[in-house]
Amino acid sequence: MPFPSLENYKIQKKITTRLCYSLYDAIDKRDNKPVFLKILDQEYSGNQDTVANFTSGARIARMLNHPNIVKIYDSGEDQGHYFISSEPIEFEPLKALILEIFSLSFADLAKIFTNIAKSLTYAHLRGVVHGFLNPNNVYISSNSDIKIDDLGFNWFVPNILTGDLAESTYLAQYIAPEYYRSAEQADGRADIYSVGVVLFEFLTGKTPFNQKNIAAIQEQHLSGKIPPVYYEELQLPVEFSEIINKSINKFIEKRFQNSSEFVRSLEFLKEKYLVVPTPVEISEQQVSIFEAKVKKNKSAGPPPIPEGSMDMSPEMAMISYEPRGLKSIPKKFLNNGLIILALLAVIIFGKSFFFDTTGSDNLQNGFAQTSPDVTDLSRSNHIQGENSNSVASALAALDSLNSLFLTNESNLTEVEDFQKSNAFRSELNPAKEPKAADILEPVFATMDIFVVSDKKPIQANIFLDEKFVGISDENGRLTVSQLEPDKIYAAKVSIEGYTSTTKYVTLSNEKTQVTLDIKPEMSALGTLIVNAIPGADSVLVNDVLFASKTPFEIKFQRGEYRVKLVNTSLQKSWEQTIELKAGQVVNVKYDFTSIEQGKVAVSIKNAFEFGFGYVYVDGKIWQKKHNTTPLEVNLEVGSHKIAVRREGFVTIPAGTTIVVDKNRTQFVSFKLTKKQ
């Protein structure tokens, strides 16, 4: 069918047929700007009421100027066609996401539906109600920006509810129950109802009012019964149920009374569940002061933290390992008689007993294992070498002991055990290994992260609190250790060609498991373009209704799909299985009026002598175009009788039966002789 001819617009292609109009991709000749063109179908153009509603609705919608609402450029009549021109929509219909092509986090869902509700708030404040908001007239980009179309067509809702086409049945699922009673009762709260139905479908894959005819759908709307949603399995806050149940309430007064209330409820959940702990930053000056303090007090400081690991914050490290000085040493340790005895022994015996070379080495060997600072021990040897005075040696020894007590204060038990030993009575023995129970080690937690897509493991980059921690293995697993218990971490996965997913996890004291489910991005999908001649009333993909009319275009994840077209007026259906690859565009087209045919080429052997003859098929003269030999005729698959006749001549043979095969050409020839 040729495109409508307009003076100001050049139509490029037909996109789809919807409601009472056909949608075209066109160019505005006046400024060469691309537009989408809605042209009122001819069956409605003769109805004055329909024309008035079509044009007045366009004028009202044209006043809306919002980034999430399709912008209307112009409307009116052109060459007898009533039209509405608008900005071209380069986004994908929301329907593409509902079949679990994407695994959306709570943050993504909140962003999408907050944008939808805010857009409707803008329209409602200007007196415009949508009426039949659904996933096919809400469009979404790869970064969750949205566009709402078909504002200004709420006058057509009664026609939808009284229609008998598949499109009417589909749209009826999203229309608020008050429209079934009286369209005059409907206001902006009817759109809130539609948003709730779309949100329900987003979570479950189908609407709560999924029936085969409008009467059954109406009964479900008026009953107010909503199937359960298992929010824990979807890893969503259970409070989501309150939002959905309040939105899809059959009683108008019990719903959200405006879209702003809906938005506030979503934002409340966002604040409750999506608050990311702000990491405390330590300035270089603070770090320098801390390091200076450690050196001054000869403290070992915190143990080294492996680079790239998720360890305690610097503040926690400072608190855990802050040097405690002499105040932390028990009084009994200072008053211990063994120290006095050791001091007297040093004074009396001097070099020969304590500060001989062997003793110095043993001292280093004995204490260096428990003290990271060996400098102060060697310092005692230096004092001994320079000063032979026994009192000075004793003071040096005492200084060394005091240093040891300060640097090894976390192992007081070991020092006490050492004092009780016979080290001061003979020769220092190598230090014993400290017991595990005596060492105050920080407590860490571990997180096992699993990355999957369509239940299959995926190797992907993993981040915790925006810090890269590693890549999942071939089993989709990554184990991250040395994490702080009872802390909320933002676990994020990123891989090219897939949506990034973030999940907020509170660690237990031991091991926590978290699964991150990712789905392909739009760019990783294939495009399916479906068309039919003279048209199809329903387009089903894998037995799911996607559109009520052709042509139809949608993106799918790569895989195998069964496409079915139904033409009710011709009482015919057709289906085909399609293999779709990422980035591929597949055109599926079927002609319901076409019949499987083959060809038969008819000729006269002695045409050079007698010329032509007339071709007969199944006893009737061939009436299409010319009917004289040589002639090629298209015939339905099957058996046909072919003959050539001409007055005054006899044909040999008189006739022949040919079995016509699909897409095959067969040849038959005759010979003419004059009658005697």
pTM exceeding the 0.85 threshold for the entire prediction: no
At 428, the pLDDT band (50, 70, 90 cuts) reads very low
Angle between helices 390-407 and 375-386 (to 10 degrees): 180
For the sheet with 461-464, list strands across it.
Answer: 467-471, 461-464, 488-494, 501-506
Look at residue 289 and tell me whether its pLDDT is greater than 80.
Answer: no
Question: Do 425 and 356 share a structural domain?
Answer: yes
Residue pair 246/254 in contact by the 8 Å Cβ criterion: yes
- Those residues whose C-beta lies under 8 Å from the C-beta of residue 337, and which sit 6 or more positions away, are none
pLDDT for residue 103 = 55
Burial of 32 from C-beta contacts in 10 A (0-12 / 13-18 / 19+): exposed
Which amino acid belongs to residue 648? Answer: G
Taking CA 591 as the corner, what is the angle to CA 587 and CA 595, rounded to the nearest 5 degrees?
135
How far separated are the first and last CA of the chain, in Å rounded? 54
Burial of 500 from C-beta contacts in 10 A (0-12 / 13-18 / 19+): middle
Give mean pLDDT, residues 229-240. Answer: 74
Give mean pLDDT, residues 227-239. Answer: 76
Question: Do 101 and 77 share a structural domain?
Answer: no
User: In terms of pLDDT, which residue wins out, 434 or 542?
Assistant: 542
Look at residue 335 and tell me whether its pLDDT is greater than 60.
Answer: no
Question: Do 665 and 633 share a structural domain?
Answer: yes
Q: Is residue 306 part of a domain?
A: no
CA–CA distance, 394 with 388 (Å, rounded to integer): 10
Residue pair 532/565 in contact by the 8 Å Cβ criterion: yes
Question: Which helix (H) or strand (E) covers residue 512, if one does?
Answer: strand 511-517
Among candidate residues 61, 62, 40, 59, the one with its CA nearest the CA of residue 51: 40
Residue 28: CATH number of its domain? 3.30.200.20
CA–CA distance, 304 with 45 (Å, rounded to integer): 80
Residue pair 326/406 in contact by the 8 Å Cβ criterion: yes
The residue written with tokens 């072919």 in the block is 642
pLDDT for residue 361 = 39
At 309, the pLDDT band (50, 70, 90 cuts) reads very low
pLDDT for residue 287 = 41
Pairing of strands 445-453, 511-517: parallel
CA distances (Å), 501 to each of 451, 464, 507, in order? 10, 12, 18
Give mean pLDDT, residues 548-565. Answer: 78
Note the pLDDT tens digit of each residue in 359-416: 433 333 333 333 344 334 334 444 344 444 444 554 455 455 444 444 444 444 444 4
* Max CA separation in the chain (angstroms): 161
Pairing of strands 511-517, 146-148: unpaired
| Residue 467 bridge partners (DSSP) | 464
Q: How many domains does the chain have?
A: 6
Selection from 24-38, 433-447, 596-610 with the highest mean pLDDT: 24-38
Note the pLDDT tens digit of each residue in 104-142: 667 778 888 999 999 999 998 888 899 999 999 999 887
3-state SS assignment for residue 83: strand
Q: Is residue 579 part of a domain?
A: yes
Q: Is residue 321 part of a domain?
A: no
CA–CA distance, 94 with 139 (Å, rounded to integer): 5
Residue 147: CATH number of its domain? 1.10.510.10
Question: Do 579 and 507 share a structural domain?
Answer: no
Burial of 329 from C-beta contacts in 10 A (0-12 / 13-18 / 19+): middle
CA–CA distance, 452 with 458 (Å, rounded to integer): 5
pLDDT for residue 339 = 56
pLDDT for residue 366 = 38
- Those residues whose C-beta lies under 8 Å from the C-beta of residue 474, and which sit 6 or more positions away, are 457, 459
CA–CA distance, 310 with 446 (Å, rounded to integer): 10
CA–CA distance, 585 with 554 (Å, rounded to integer): 10
Give mean pLDDT, residues 486-492. Answer: 85
At 465, the pLDDT band (50, 70, 90 cuts) reads confident
Question: Do 269 and 131 share a structural domain?
Answer: yes
Question: Do 616 and 542 share a structural domain?
Answer: no
User: In terms of pLDDT, which residue wins out, 151 or 269?
Assistant: 151
The residue written with tokens 């071939």 in the block is 474
Question: Do 648 and 563 share a structural domain?
Answer: no
Q: Is residue 29 part of a domain?
A: yes
At 561, the pLDDT band (50, 70, 90 cuts) reads confident
Which of 60, 87, 114 is at the close of a domain? 87
Question: Which helix (H) or strand (E) covers residue 525, if one does?
Answer: strand 525-533
Residue 569: CATH number of its domain? 2.60.40.1120
Share of the chain above pLDDT 90, in %: 18
Which of 390, 413, 438 is at the close of a domain? 438
Question: Do 268 and 211 share a structural domain?
Answer: yes
CA–CA distance, 66 with 73 (Å, rounded to integer): 13
Question: Do 243 and 116 share a structural domain?
Answer: yes
Pairing of strands 511-517, 477-483: unpaired
CA–CA distance, 626 with 640 (Å, rounded to integer): 19
Which of 539, 559, 591 is at the close of a domain? 591
Tokens of 513: 């498991």
Q: Is residue 302 part of a domain?
A: no
CA–CA distance, 488 with 504 (Å, rounded to integer): 6
CA–CA distance, 406 with 530 (Å, rounded to integer): 81
Q: Is residue 97 part of a domain?
A: yes
Note the pLDDT tens digit of each residue in 183-197: 777 889 999 999 999
Residue 499: CATH number of its domain? 2.60.40.10
Phi–psi pair at 120, nearest 5 degrees: -65, -35
Burial of 565 from C-beta contacts in 10 A (0-12 / 13-18 / 19+): buried
Q: Is residue 334 part of a domain?
A: yes
Question: Do 258 and 149 share a structural domain?
Answer: yes
Note the pLDDT tens digit of each residue in 50-105: 898 898 889 888 889 999 999 999 999 998 899 999 999 888 888 877 765 445 66
Q: Is residue 292 part of a domain?
A: no
The residue written with tokens 């050196």 in the block is 295
Chain centre to alpha carbon of residue 501: 7
Question: Do 420 and 506 share a structural domain?
Answer: no
Question: Do 224 and 209 share a structural domain?
Answer: yes
Phi–psi pair at 661, nearest 5 degrees: -105, 155
CA–CA distance, 364 with 428 (Å, rounded to integer): 10
The domain in which residue 538 lies consists of 522-591
Phi–psi pair at 569, nearest 5 degrees: -65, -35
pLDDT for residue 99 = 60
Among candidate residues 122, 256, 252, 234, the one with its CA nearest the CA of residue 177: 252
CA–CA distance, 287 with 278 (Å, rounded to integer): 19
